[in-house]
Structure 1
């Protein structure tokens, strides 16, 4: 006679084993993590910054990690939502663009602690420029049109100061990257420009800016900015491994210290879509998000 309880136990164990095997298969199904970043700095610098992080993620995930540079900000958005990339280092605005373009199917995983209160700096070589209002009638450079800290948020602060960049400035240029903005200002191509404070501080520390010639005349209030984002359909096992890997980075060990310093981060912290609501609102108000 068949023992019903024993048979049910056997079936339960078999189902559990099958589910566990399925999860393991899902975790192993993705053999390569395709990563990119918005091109807010020179491609060689982005590659240099990512190399040790990529090696670390390979160790933690047990899969190959490939960094693929993109030509512009829009390409990073399209690459992720069209399944050509798996994870992207977005600015706040590019994350919002990706979220909207994908119908809410892009989610942010982690950000640097510094990205909770990120800032932009307005720079100039012109001694007559000492406040935002002094920019009227001047030639000015933003970074990329899709940059949060190089365009969107600086534009919103200009508008708040009753300065319409499109009508009150003599000419607007878009340099394409933060370091290119510094070069445009220091080279006299424009009277002033704006870039993110992190790149500015890095260039100053490296002695790549003549601070006797180029100076900061306005620093914005803080706002949420950069994050590492993935599509919502990423295997949850892989997603958790990625998140845990970033959160485990510490300056108390040599590998973590090198990675965090290259990423200009004290540490990584979890983030969420709601953190970028103000950026989305600013983009709508500035007419940059349809």
Structure 2
């Protein structure tokens, strides 16, 4: 994976950082402890790069309702029903009522967890570092195939009948990105364009931000954009449910693979509740579920949850962020 990062180029251009303000009781006094790049509210005594569970019982939370959110990649209404079976399983495993939170942006999802309004979530690949460092997110699971294969590719797509045949042909044209926190939707393609093709936003092409991968994909199919940087796992699912006609889209670039959405919980839940949430993910019965029907459309298919660590599996994403001078500071 490190080789993939090198191919994308280690260059300090195009800073992507979110300004997230702490609110109310969520802002705690800084402790005298090791924390690395974590916000001052958190500690990392074991060096795993994620926030430790508080040792002070008064800082632990045990909500009567668990709020769950899936990354705002596509239509939230579609994914509310897709995740319902899992949420029912999570409710049974924890003894809590589980509520779906339809977030509209990556920044809103991170801020919800930072403010204590979101407890369990799937954050997209590029948002994981900011969620970990600013919101106390603790990722522990990722979807994979039954054989344990995982990952997706960043692709740059154009309308099928576009005269554009290679990335260099995009000079002077409009390229759609999703959001500054997105790995495949902004950070990785920005590093690629700058390092390998000496193409910078505003100077060599006009950037546009669609907000979500599905918006970018449909925008290219409808010729609203000359090109777009997208996650091909999202495109595969959209094609599978006839949300977009693949004959109207053509890919001109595919990256090496990246990790997919990371699933986890906020750092300050009671340890017993954390354990039940983890068990719910790994004991979820996929066969016959709406989750399997939706996510097995990806390539490779996503058919189970596997354990992961942020320190290992997000190393390539952190390397890209470092190359782009991305800051995880919370402001």
What is the distance in 2 between the residues matched to 1:141 and 1:224?
22
**Where do 5+ consecutive residues of structure 2 fail to align?**
1-59, 297-301
Cα shift at 1:160: 3.6
Q: Provide the residue aligned with 2:218 in structure 1.
A: 183
1:31 touches 1:64 (CA, 8 Å); kept in 2?
Answer: yes
Of 115, 135, 154 in structure 2, the residue corresponding to residue 82 of structure 1 is 115
1:121 touches 1:220 (CA, 8 Å); kept in 2?
Answer: yes
Of 258, 264, 283 in structure 2, the residue corresponding to residue 248 of structure 1 is 283
1:41 touches 1:179 (CA, 8 Å); kept in 2?
Answer: yes
Cα shift at 1:250: 4.3
Q: Provide the residue aligned with 2:32 in structure 1.
A: none
What is the distance in 1 between the residues matched to 2:273 and 2:279?
10
Cα shift at 1:116: 4.1
Q: Larger C-alpha radius of gyration, 1 or 2?
A: 1
Structure scoring higher RCO (CA < 8 A, sep ≥ 6) equals 2
Q: Provide the residue aligned with 1:134 in structure 2.
A: 169
1:61 touches 1:242 (CA, 8 Å); kept in 2?
Answer: yes
Of 247, 250, 272 in structure 2, the residue corresponding to residue 237 of structure 1 is 272
What is the distance in 2 between the residues matched to 1:153 and 1:49?
28
2:62 touches 2:273 (CA, 8 Å); kept in 1?
Answer: no
Cα shift at 1:127: 3.5
Cα shift at 1:28: 11
Instruction: Map 1:28-177; keep pairs closer than 5 Å.
Output: 29-102=62-135, 105-113=136-144, 116-125=150-159, 126-167=161-202, 169-177=204-212
Q: What secondary structure is seen at the aligned counterpart in 2 of 1:212?
A: helix
2:144 touches 2:305 (CA, 8 Å); kept in 1?
Answer: yes
What is the distance in 2 between the residues matched to 1:172 and 1:50?
33
Q: Provide the residue aligned with 1:7 in structure 2.
A: none
Q: Provide the residue aligned with 2:315 in structure 1.
A: 277
Q: Provide the residue aligned with 2:229 in structure 1.
A: 194
Cα shift at 1:167: 4.5
TM-score by length of 1: 0.81
The superposition leaves residues 60-87 of structure 1 with CA deviations (integer Å, 9 ceiling, x where unpaired) of 2221101112232111111112211111
2:82 touches 2:290 (CA, 8 Å); kept in 1?
Answer: no
* Counterparts in 2 of 1:45 and 1:241: CA distance versus 1, 3 Å: same
Q: Provide the residue aligned with 2:22 in structure 1.
A: none
Q: What secondary structure is seen at the aligned counterpart in 2 of 1:92?
A: coil
**Where do 5+ consecutive residues of structure 1 fail to align?**
1-26
The superposition leaves residues 183-231 of structure 1 with CA deviations (integer Å, 9 ceiling, x where unpaired) of 2112222111121111101122223323332122222110123111222
2:62 touches 2:269 (CA, 8 Å); kept in 1?
Answer: no
The superposition leaves residues 3-62 of structure 1 with CA deviations (integer Å, 9 ceiling, x where unpaired) of xxxxxxxxxxxxxxxxxxxxxxxx995321111133221221232222222112112222
